[in-house]
């Protein structure tokens, strides 16, 4: 019985991800950025530790975006008319996505930019 419950929960979670990916523009943009970062990370041969940091940052951004989307859906369900309180709730939730995205971008830049510079230096040696 418990295994069936787990499978049902897994099915609902996948359905939620599918909904976010198909309907939410911000989640789609973040998924595209995720794919780009993963491809770049693979190309640059990151260490295991660097991979862990990159994957953690990607996971945090996507999770916070999913939570923000959930809050927006709940707020809209609660009140479909303009309400300053609902606006503030949505703005604060969106702010959390902005904060984690900026921090993750900085962390990603600290890891990936030096690797990119070294990668381009090695190409100069090959080309000249």
Specify the CATH number for the domain of residue 96: 1.10.287.3610
Which ranges of the chain does DSSP label H, i.e. alpha helix?
2-23, 25-43, 48-78, 84-127
pLDDT score for 2? 75
Q: What domain range is 107 assigned to?
A: 2-127
Residue 72 pLDDT exceeds 70: yes
Q: How confident is the model at residue 62 (pLDDT cuts 50, 70, 90)?
A: very high
Q: Residue 76 burial by CB count (10 A; 0-12/13-18/19+): exposed, middle or buried?
A: exposed
Residue 1 pLDDT exceeds 60: no
**Phi and psi torsions of 58, nearest 5°:** -60, -45
pLDDT score for 3? 73
**What six digits make up the tokens of 42?**
């693979």
> What is the number of domains present in the chain?
1
Say which residue, 78 or 30, is predicted with more confidence: 30
């Amino acid at each position: 019985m418990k295994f069936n419950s787990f499978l049902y929960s897994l099915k609902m979670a996948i359905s939620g991800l599918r909904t976010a990916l198909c309907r939410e523009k911000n989640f789609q943009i973040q998924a595209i950025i995720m794919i780009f970062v993963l491809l770049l990370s693979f190309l640059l041969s990151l260490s295991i530790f660097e991979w862990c940091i990159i994957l953690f940052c990607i996971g945090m951004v996507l999770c916070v975006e999913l939570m923000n989307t959930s809050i927006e859906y709940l707020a809209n369900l609660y009140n479909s008319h303009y309400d300053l309180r609902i606006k503030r709730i949505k703005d604060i939730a969106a702010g959390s996505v902005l904060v984690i995205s900026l921090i993750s971008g900085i962390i990603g830049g600290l890891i990936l930019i030096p690797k990119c510079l070294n990668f381009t230096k090695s190409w100069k040696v090959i080309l000249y």
